[in-house]
Structure 1
Amino acid sequence: MDIISIVKKAMGQNERLDIQEAFNIYNLLRARYVSAQTIQLFKNFVHDIDWEMILDKFLKHFEKQIAILEELGEQYRIIMPTRPPLDVKFSTSINDITDDYIYKKIFHDLVAELMSLIHAVRSTSTSDKLRNIIIQDLTIHFEDFDILYKYGKLKGWEETYPVYKTALPHQDEQLSTSEAFHIWDHINLRYEQIELMGIFVNFAHDTEFKVILQHGLYVYNKQVNHLEQLALKFNVPLPNRPTLPVTSPIDPETIKDKFMYRNILSWELTALDNHVRAIIETIRNDSLRKLWSELLNSELEYYDKYLKYGKMKGWTRVVPIYGEPVT
């Protein structure tokens, strides 16, 4: 089932910008300026040719994103941060600045950008166009992050992280302690979401909203089944499963659809944060990081459609408007 079909092709795109979205454009542009300048600086000291090619690829992505953000800032008449120099060049090379050091600095820079981007996705609710632009930037940024991390492992620049230890031997793959935690944490998160949605589905008044909740339960149960098998494979303790939903004796009129919608939306935002953190902190097991990325992409798509549905129903919070684009 596709939730967007339930939305019924909501009326034309709203181009207005709210006050937080105006700040998001400014803040993301400021971060991109710094990231681009950092890469330009470090390119003067790179020794490895392949490493320089990867940095060039990152820089092209940053420059493209900067151009889009600058155009949005101009359209909405937002005061923009100070632009950095066109490039940063040195006439001499400094051997003390190693490729290993540059990798670690770029790695932490990309992580900081990821946190800024996911916050911008979370807080961009008025302009669907802007949210889609930020989601696209986030997706590309994660692809760059994955390339960076795998290259760092290949070159031996990554650190050795604590291994998750159990009494039973692992088969082919090992987990770090953070990776084991995120499997356990995601199972807990989905259990709590499933339990809440199982309760709410009995109280939903709107037929379409009831269908959305039932679809969400189907998706989350499917995901948690996979996570449970991973936990068993890697000997990660499983938490208690949620209680089975029952018909409540409480009067359904006491719980409004808007209240239930907003609670589910809050859990969606929590899930987005958990997926991002899991990707960043999965530093040993590549297949597990791929799973977190797939969950994030699925969650982003579902969140975007769920938010649009709530806006159409008038259930979302209305953030004060900053302005409309210059025509």
Structure 2
Amino acid sequence: MGLGSLIKKVKKREDVIDIQEAFNIYSLLRARYVSTQTVQLFKNFVHDVGWEIILNKFQNNFENQIDNLEKLGEKFRIIMPNRPPVDVKFATRLNGVTDDYIYKKIYHDLVAQLMSLNHAVRSTSTNDNLRHIIIQDLIGHFEDFDTLYKFGKLKGWEETYPTYKTAISQEEEQLSTSEAFHIWDHIVMRYEQIELIGIFSSFAHDTEFKVILQHGLYIYNKQVKKLEQLALKLNIPLPNRSALPVTAPIDPEMITDKFMYRIILSWELASLDAHVRATIETIRNEPLRKLWSGLLNSELEYYDKYLKYGKMKGWTRVVPIYGEPVT
């Protein structure tokens, strides 16, 4: 049985937000205002026509996000940051502000926004609709980030990164040290998660929860096998695997399903962080970037369902509600 079929009974609370969600709306809107101003400013100095087209696309995306966030702020009566000017114009061009510099500045701004959005996804737990909006913004930002990176690479604006040294020559693009690390790190993380879920499976009391744990084991084992094959192909040392799970001799009453659920939820959040960092720091190998992107999108979908399931069971934390919504 999938998580989707189990959460249909969840009562929706889209008419309220908690105190952290109120701050997330404010913080994300403030960041979008600054992002829009930054793009408007740099468009005055752009020389490359293709670069200007990409910046226009980013600006349109930011403005759509601003519109959604402003509506949410109005609905929930949140004090909003000051709105920026409609546009930023300069009468002259400065040759010292190069396309290369603009690229690096926009690149670092997008990375900061990705980390901010990831935190907002993690901390938006009360309002499912708001979390869905933020998840879509995160996915959209990664699409912009991918567009930006590929364009910068095409133009030769990307830096030369430390190469992962291996005796085996790579037919395609060489790995960077960060890319090799993230493959190894993901395998370690999945080994630990598989071991933990295997232990919890023997202690789970709720039948549905046990099925969810077993399904999680299936998915993680499938992912880790793919990562193991990739590591072997790229000559990356594999870490030691965890011991095979054993049947517990006792069934301690103190290990509750709620406790196990929350531990696994924290691992879900750790996985999201790992996928985000891996995608950002994969700066050479295009197939590897697609792999991390796929893992991130799958994890976001599963995390959303897993959180809703926990809310249905009454196992999640209850964050204080913010104010009263407009009726």
With structure 2 as the length reference, what TM-score do the two structures score? Answer: 0.98
Q: Is the 8 A contact 1:272 1:299 kept in 2?
A: yes
The separation in 2 between residues aligned to 1:210 and 1:319, in whole angstroms, is 27
Structure 1 position 153 matched with structure 2 position 166: no
Q: Is the 8 A contact 2:13 2:126 kept in 1?
A: no
The separation in 1 between residues aligned to 2:200 and 2:47, in whole angstroms, is 58
**Offset from partner CA, 1:159-200 (integer Å, 9 cap, x none):** 010110012222333100000000000000000000000000
The separation in 2 between residues aligned to 1:254 and 1:92, in whole angstroms, is 71
**Which residue number corresponds to residue 80 of structure 1?**
80
SS in 2 for 1:86: coil
The separation in 2 between residues aligned to 1:150 and 1:305, in whole angstroms, is 32
**Offset from partner CA, 1:214-272 (integer Å, 9 cap, x none):** 00000000000000001001101000111111101232423100000000000000000
The separation in 2 between residues aligned to 1:311 and 1:9, in whole angstroms, is 10
Amino acid at match of 1:166: T
- CA deviation after TM superposition for structure 1 residue 24, in Å: 0.2
SS in 2 for 1:126: coil
- CA deviation after TM superposition for structure 1 residue 324, in Å: 3.6
The separation in 1 between residues aligned to 2:67 and 2:12, in whole angstroms, is 26
Percent identity over the alignment is 77
Q: Is the 8 A contact 1:15 1:129 kept in 2?
A: no
The separation in 1 between residues aligned to 2:172 and 2:32, in whole angstroms, is 40
Residues 255-294 of structure 1 aligned to structure 2 (within 5 Å): 255-294=255-294
**Which residue number corresponds to residue 35 of structure 1?**
35
The separation in 2 between residues aligned to 1:79 and 1:235, in whole angstroms, is 54
**Which residue number corresponds to residue 179 of structure 1?**
179
The separation in 2 between residues aligned to 1:278 and 1:315, in whole angstroms, is 30
The separation in 1 between residues aligned to 2:172 and 2:293, in whole angstroms, is 22
**Which residue number corresponds to residue 113 of structure 2?**
113
SS in 1 for 2:253: helix
Q: Which runs of 5+ in 2 are unaligned?
A: none
Aligned residues: 327
SS in 2 for 1:201: helix
- CA deviation after TM superposition for structure 1 residue 13, in Å: 4.0
**Which residue number corresponds to residue 236 of structure 1?**
236
Amino acid at match of 2:26: Y
Amino acid at match of 2:289: R
Q: Is the 8 A contact 1:73 1:80 kept in 2?
A: yes
SS in 2 for 1:322: coil
**Which residue number corresponds to residue 138 of structure 1?**
138
- RMSD of aligned Cα (Å): 1.0
**Which residue number corresponds to residue 191 of structure 1?**
191
The separation in 2 between residues aligned to 1:314 and 1:320, in whole angstroms, is 15
The separation in 1 between residues aligned to 2:108 and 2:238, in whole angstroms, is 32
The separation in 1 between residues aligned to 2:2 and 2:103, in whole angstroms, is 41
**Which residue number corresponds to residue 165 of structure 2?**
165
**Which residue number corresponds to residue 65 of structure 1?**
65
The separation in 2 between residues aligned to 1:88 and 1:238, in whole angstroms, is 52
Amino acid at match of 2:280: I
Q: Is the 8 A contact 2:9 2:312 kept in 1?
A: no
Residues 2-41 of structure 1 aligned to structure 2 (within 5 Å): 2-41=2-41
**Offset from partner CA, 1:96-133 (integer Å, 9 cap, x none):** 11000000000000000000000000000000010000
Amino acid at match of 1:119: H
SS in 1 for 2:290: helix
The separation in 1 between residues aligned to 2:80 and 2:7, in whole angstroms, is 35
**Which residue number corresponds to residue 311 of structure 1?**
311
Amino acid at match of 2:160: T
Q: Is the 8 A contact 2:2 2:212 kept in 1?
A: no
Amino acid at match of 2:97: I
Q: Is the 8 A contact 1:114 1:141 kept in 2?
A: yes
Amino acid at match of 2:200: F
Q: Is the 8 A contact 1:39 1:55 kept in 2?
A: yes
Q: Is the 8 A contact 2:10 2:311 kept in 1?
A: no
- CA deviation after TM superposition for structure 1 residue 16, in Å: 1.1
The separation in 2 between residues aligned to 1:8 and 1:43, in whole angstroms, is 47
The separation in 2 between residues aligned to 1:143 and 1:71, in whole angstroms, is 24
Superposition misfits of 4+ residues, deviation over 3 angstroms? none
